[in-house]
Structure 1
């Protein structure tokens, strides 16, 4: 037996409890939304992964008198499009910016954060999807994309289209006519006018007399008769060994030196800690505040960490999903059946 839509009871926190208002865009800040301010105005920006979500959010903003634009994200791939959704700066969003931004411009969840059907509807429209038959996922950030495969080290890049393929065989070499070799001219020898052929010239006599070193005083010296200064001397046969005074080193007491301990080896990071995702403390506090607001609304959810496919909150169980469906109201016409809680 299937339960009809008409059998649902109106909830005090559902979309029928109050009319739409600009501060309902706080539901976008529960996920990947960011709020900014300029002067006395504010603007909300978020990223969605489907085109139908842009149409739903545009219709929701028109109900609140806000102008919304949707443009493709510059880093999106063709097979997985993403869109940047942003509102125009409006004075109606200035209280929302003042509520979520501190004095330094850091986005922080307010301490009195509460949820209702209007806020949840915008969160579901921006980042809600089924995670199986008995679980519904509310994403806190866009779905992470798998990293691109790295090229293998041995693989060669494919040739570009502009490059011409190499010829299978080398082109035949054609002998070109060579220019005649040029020989260098022989040097010209200049001779004196008074020179006679085949006649040797007489060298002038040197005026420097031969140097007489005199008698050699080292002629009768034999180098092998001198004592060898590099010869090794045995310590016990050296007659001059006892002539040296005792230095007294042997009478000094022995001193034991303290052993210096070696420094402990540097502690290396464990393999499972390498590549751990670092999360900003303020962002983590915002996620905790959102989880507590879900519990207060009767929707306890399981937090999915970023390294496990999140960040997101998973609502498990048909009873809790039905509770979520009652709060967010009827699905919009453009929403696929597998994305809206029913």
Structure 2
């Protein structure tokens, strides 16, 4: 089901129903973002050391490398590729797609993609899931070139995670699994698992790799300090997300 660049379906097409529907009158928390260009994957350090906070308009501390400290950029979609998302090339363009297990994920991903100027579409898969796809776009070609070796997906050298990338991964495939959070991986993406795990550890979110027999493939992040770090990095819960599905700040 196609959507326009603003993340809204054309005509009478609507996004999958949410229960409960989020209250549109609820104001979003104020954020201060500092624009900063970013390549598809550059030498930016992962920020595993002490945070360098700023201050939001509501007085909250902003964590360095957190989702609230910079404008959304296309390179953030690397967070989807760290998880189960797929990327394919066609001519001079590329497309990213991911199958999600809940309607709220469609809402969040469409909105996040629209913030980055990417048109998206979605459709039910017939097994109570939804396939979310970007349009084919030339702007996505650098991500595809960085992540694909033939048809095999593999993180490029220097791959790192930050708050914006983690936010997208969490929206697409993060699952609350008390006492922690699962970050699901692509079942056929074994070449990604180790470097993605190293990138998680580098931002203070080292987790246990679960194989398919244990409910994976996924990384399980546990521990009070790590979950607090996760909440700081991914930022505030989007209105469409049910509260238990998003890490809350203390």
Q: Structure 1 length normalisation: TM-score?
A: 0.54
* Structure 2 residue aligned with 1:318: 224
* Structure 1 residue aligned with 2:144: 97
In the aligned structure 2, how far is the partner of 1:94 from the partner of 1:332? 28
Which of 89, 99, 114 pairs up with 2:160?
A: 114
For the pair 1:87 / 2:134, whether they are aligned, the reply is: yes
Which of these two proteins has the greater Rg computed from alpha carbons? 1
> What are the Cα deviations for residues 14-65 of structure 1, in whole angstroms up to 9, with x where unaligned?
1122210112111111111000111111110111000110010000011000
- The CA RMSD over aligned residues, in Å, is 1.6
For the pair 1:37 / 2:89, whether they are aligned, the reply is: yes
1:8 positional shift: 5.0
For the pair 1:55 / 2:128, whether they are aligned, the reply is: no
* Structure 1 residue aligned with 2:37: none
* Structure 2 residue aligned with 1:296: 202
Equivalent positions of 1:262-341 (< 5 A) are: 283-341=189-247
> What are the Cα deviations for residues 237-256 of structure 1, in whole angstroms up to 9, with x where unaligned?
xxxxxxxxxxxxxxxxxxxx
Secondary structure of 2:97's partner? strand
Equivalent positions of 1:194-213 (< 5 A) are: none
* Structure 2 residue aligned with 1:181: none
- 8 Å Cα contact 2:153-2:191 kept in structure 1: no
- 8 Å Cα contact 2:80-2:172 kept in structure 1: yes
In the aligned structure 1, how far is the partner of 2:69 from the partner of 2:103? 29
In the aligned structure 1, how far is the partner of 2:200 from the partner of 2:130? 27
The 1:310–1:7 alpha-carbon spacing in structure 2 relative to 1, beyond 3 Å, is farther
1:7 positional shift: 7.2
- Structure 2 alignment gaps of length 5 or more: 1-55
- 8 Å Cα contact 1:8-1:326 kept in structure 2: no
In the aligned structure 2, how far is the partner of 1:322 from the partner of 1:129? 16
Secondary structure of 1:112's partner? coil
In the aligned structure 2, how far is the partner of 1:299 from the partner of 1:7? 26
Which of 165, 181, 191 pairs up with 1:136?
A: 181
Secondary structure of 2:61's partner? coil
Tell me: higher relative CO, structure 1 or 2? Use CA pairs within 8 A at least 6 residues apart.
Answer: 1
- Structure 1 alignment gaps of length 5 or more: 142-278
In the aligned structure 1, how far is the partner of 2:215 from the partner of 2:144? 29
In the aligned structure 1, how far is the partner of 2:130 from the partner of 2:198? 29
Q: Structure 2 length normalisation: TM-score?
A: 0.73
* Structure 2 residue aligned with 1:175: none
